[in-house]
Structures are given as C-alpha cells and as structure tokens.
Chain A
Amino acid sequence: MDAILPVLLFVLIAAAVSVGLLVFAELIGPRRVTAVKEMPYESGMDPAHDTKRRFDVRFHLVAITFLVFDVELLFLYPWAVASRSPAGIEAAVTDGLVSGRGLVFAGAMAFTALVVVGFAYDWRKGVFRWR
C-alpha cells in the first residue's frame, strides 16, 4: 500500500486538475449557440453521409498484429528483469529450481525465435503491406 499510495494520489490529482480546468472554463466562458456552429466541420461543405460507415479492414489487421506481438513481448519482461537481478535466476539456480543459467537463456532465445518465425510468416503473407 505504501508503494502504491503516491501513485493513486497522483492519478486523483491529475484527474482533478483536468476536470477542474474544464469546469472552470465552462463556468466563465461565454455561450452563443448558432445553427451553423452546430454542424460538423467539412471544409465549408454541407456534410454528406453519415460518419459511422465501414472503414478499411487494414486497421483491424494492424490491431490484431499489435496484440499478438505486444503480448509476446510482455512475456519477455519477467525474464529480462530476472536475468540480472540477484533474486532472480541466480537465486533459482542456487535453490535448484533451474538446472542452469544457460537453460533459461536458451528458453528465452527459443521463444524469441518463435516470435521471429511468426513475424516472417506475417511478412510473407503481406500483413505489413500497406497499399
């Protein structure tokens, strides 16, 4: 709790500052509503069609690819932290939980190799081609 309390305080204060600025401006600003102001801005043209239409599926592909690679990278963080800290892999080797450092390293590299294989497959399939 001691570690997380300042963070919570910071989030609260940051939110309070943002909301405070907004409310303050809302209170003291003028208010003049006209019909033209209410229209969506389309470079001076009368708006045509609805905005919420179908959009390019490529954005969806980017999102999926991002999800895959980002999660795969997140798996590497625990290893990255543990590999150098004294309470990490060193301790695990001493306690006999792991047979050796080399095995952990090989495992991490094998995982990275799998990511690279997936990446090469995606590239070959043209996922990254933006035309």
Chain B
Amino acid sequence: MVAATFFIFPMTSFLPSPSTIAALVKIGLLVGGLMTAAAYLVLVERWMAAWVQDRKGPNRVGIPLTKIKLFGLGQPLADGLKIILKEDFTPKHVDKVLYTAAPLVILAASLAIFAAIPFGSVMPPLKIAGLPDPVPFLVAPGLDVGVLWVFALSSIAVYGVLLGGWASNNKYGFLGGLRSSAQLVAYEIPLGLGLLGVVLAAGSLKLDVIMNAQAKSGTWYAFAQPLGFVVFLVASFAEAARLPFDLPEAEQELVGGYHTEYSGIKLLLFLVAEFLHMVTAAFLIVIMFLGGWHLWGVTGSSQEVTLLGAVLRFAVLSAKIFAVILFFMLVRWSWPRFRFDQLMNLAWKVMLPLGLANLVTVAAVEEFRSHLPGWVAIAIPWAVFFVGWIVSGLLTPSGTDNTPIRTRGPLDVERELSHDYAGAR
C-alpha cells in the first residue's frame, strides 16, 4: 500500500499542497486498514462459524518456526501468502480481457467507494503540518455528492459480477452472473428509497453532514424512520450478497456462481471485494441510521473537538461498525437461503412499496414538522412501520411462504402456458 502511495506521489508533486498530502495519508491508511480488516474479519467470521457450530475454529497458526499459537492470529497471513503463491490460471475458453478486467473492476470500485465515506468525526487542527483547519476523517470532504458517489460505485459491482459471469464462458458462471445482476439491480431500488428518506431529513448528500445532523438532534434516523431503516438493512444485506441473499453463490445449485472459473489471486480479489461490500454496508448502516460517531452522553455533539474527543468518536464509530458486522455474521449462520422467486417477490412486492411508504411518510413529517408536537413526529413513522409490516405480511404471503410450489395444488399446465412472459391474461 505504501509503495502505491509513493508511486502516485511524483505525479501530483506539481501541487504539493498540505491538503493533498493529508488526502494521500488518509487514502493510505484506509486502503491498508481495509485490506487488513478484510483479512482479519474472515478470521472473525470463521471463529463465529466455529462457535455457532460448536467446534474449534482456526486456532493453530501463530508465529512461524515457533510453537506460539496466538489463537490463530497468523491464519489470515498464511492464507493470503498461500493464495498469492498459487498459480494464476486463465482457462482457454474464457474471454481473456473481460475475464481479467472483472476482478479488477470490482475490487477497485469497492475500495474507491471509501473516498466519500467518513471514518470518524474531525481531528482538531494540527499545528505542525501547516493545516490550520480541523482535519476531517474523510478523504474527499469537499465532495457534495457523497451518497451518490457511494451509490454509483456500488452499482459498478454489478459490472464486475456480470463481466465475470459472462467472460467465464461457463454455464454455472453465466447463470450465477445473471441471477446476481438481477438481484443486485432489484435491491438497488429499495436501497435508494431508504437512502432518500435520510437525505430528505438531513438535507444533504454528504455523509458527514448526515452524521452531524443526527448528533445535533440526538435522534438517530433508525428511531425517526424505522421503516426506512428496515428497508435499507434488508436491501444492503442483498447488495452485499450475504446469506439469506447469497443466491449468486448458491453452491448447491451453481457451484461458485459467477466466480466458478476463477482461481488464485483473481478469486482472492473477488472475495476481498465481496467482504468490502459487507464492510461498506456496515459503514452506511451505522452512518445513516445508527448515529455514526454519536453516542448520548459520551461523545458530545458539537463541531469543536479535542484530540481525546476525536479518538473517542473514532472508537465509538468503529465499535458500532464492528457490532453491525458481527450481526451480519450471526445472520449468516442462523438463516436459510431464500429461493429465487421469494427473493424477487421480496424486492418488488414488499420492499419497494414499503420504501415508497417510508418516503411519503418522511416527506410529510419533515414538511409539517414545525406544526407537529415532537412526539407525533416520532409516532407517525412508527405507526406506518407497524401498519406496513402487517399489511405487507397479509398481502404478499408468497414472499415468505416456504411451501414447495408443487404442493400448493395441481399444476395447471394449460393455464401456466397460456400466460405470456409479461403475465398478461
């Protein structure tokens, strides 16, 4: 990571402003931190799996050539080293350019998302570095389109998946890529709807402004917009392709899905990118709905911050993100996978209407907030949340119905065939 930073540096040396150097330092920290975090989160996930399944997880690999085991903390290093030393094999039947491009696109995009994602509050002014202003924990603090950048780059993940599936020239890969892109595309709409409510309430697309707005009011958006929170949570599980939404890699049906034909370092790039998607999702959930760095009575809420306060806010944010990631992992080991028609039903027939209901509710509450007593502004979204929950459960039972289709009554082949694909009668 450090080498990459030095490689870029000469190109920008014609404007050696301190803010550029600060940005480079932040980028270096983020890229290094994210890669390390991804490696160690894999270890955490394996520990979690072992704990849920009542067995011992990876606990052997420690310092090489000694007997020190260190609870298996050497495991990610050993795994990484092994996979880098593996043959980087490109089969003959693939489209070579696209096959190589797919993992690069998906990893670069999932890293570059973090240009707009804050990882703390602000540092107090550093007098030594020639930076008179407080330094924000954000690579691109001037970027007005923060949320849109995040949204756009997470859509590029779809390209990585589609390219990988298509270029592999393998039936499993092709079907996995198709399914995966349909899933990612379908859940992007509820994701956007959940996002829209937060943008509406905060009045900005900048994620740091969204955090500050929650800290200032003391009400996290998860409490002010419960329906939006649930819709966004479910959609971000689907976007990160985590169980119960990991149909792209349903191994019983599709072997490895879109990365069936990948091995060695290219597979590693796919897997790291996939893990980074989960980390990104956790960041977004915490920043937009769980108050970011804010914790009542601990972090304060003002823009002025001491060094200790900045560290404390960073710690609170990291702890929240880690908790959400642990939640992602617990869900993985406690939920079965959806069927594909259930997945599509949930996206279009449950999440989209709920997201629209949330949008209208939030818009109305924000518009008439000055005329409403405080408790009503909280009560209305919660009422809509429960009504939406019950109504969607009653109207679309097929979204959660696990009965195999063939036991729901005799299959009327004539009737099924008389529908065209749009389902017109």
Residue pair B192, A73 in contact (C-beta under 8 Å)? yes
Q: Which residues in A have some Cβ–Cβ distance to B below 8 Å? A: 2-7, 9-22, 24-26, 28-33, 37-43, 47, 51-52, 55, 57-59, 61-63, 65-66, 69-70, 73, 76-77, 80-85, 88, 101, 105, 108-109, 112, 115-116, 119, 123, 125-131
How many residues on B have C-beta within 8 angstroms of the other chain's C-beta atoms?
95
CB neighbours (8 Å) of A3 from chain B are: 140-144
Q: Nearest-CB distance from B117 to chain A (Å)? A: 11
- The residue from B12, B172, B345, B356 contacting A9, defined by CB atoms under 8 A apart: B12
CA distance A95 to B168 in the complex (A): 58
The listed residue with most A CB atoms (<10 A of its CB), out of B171, B181, B196, is B171
Total A-B residue contacts, Cβ distance less than 8 Å: 238
Residue pair A73, B424 in contact (C-beta under 8 Å)? no
CA distance A32 to B264 in the complex (A): 13
Residue pair A70, B188 in contact (C-beta under 8 Å)? yes
Q: Nearest-CB distance from A81 to chain B (Å)? A: 6
Q: A3-B144, A38-B93 are in contact. Are A24 and B353 (CB under 8 A)?
A: no
Query: What 1/0 mask marks residues of chain B from 33 to 73 whose CB sits below 8 Å from any chain A CB?
Result: 00100000000000000000000000000000000000000
Residue pair B107, A77 in contact (C-beta under 8 Å)? no
Residue pair B171, A51 in contact (C-beta under 8 Å)? yes
Query: What 1/0 mask marks residues of chain B from 349 to 370 whose CB sits below 8 Å from any chain A CB?
Result: 1001100100110010011000
B335 at the interface (CB under 8 A from A): no
CB neighbours (8 Å) of B203 from chain A are: 81-85, 88
A-B contact pairs, 7 of them (CB 8 A): A4-B143, A10-B139, A21-B84, A25-B264, A62-B185, A84-B201, A84-B203
Residue pair B87, A32 in contact (C-beta under 8 Å)? yes
B290 at the interface (CB under 8 A from A): no
CB neighbours (8 Å) of A14 from chain B are: 31, 107-109, 111-112
B319 at the interface (CB under 8 A from A): no
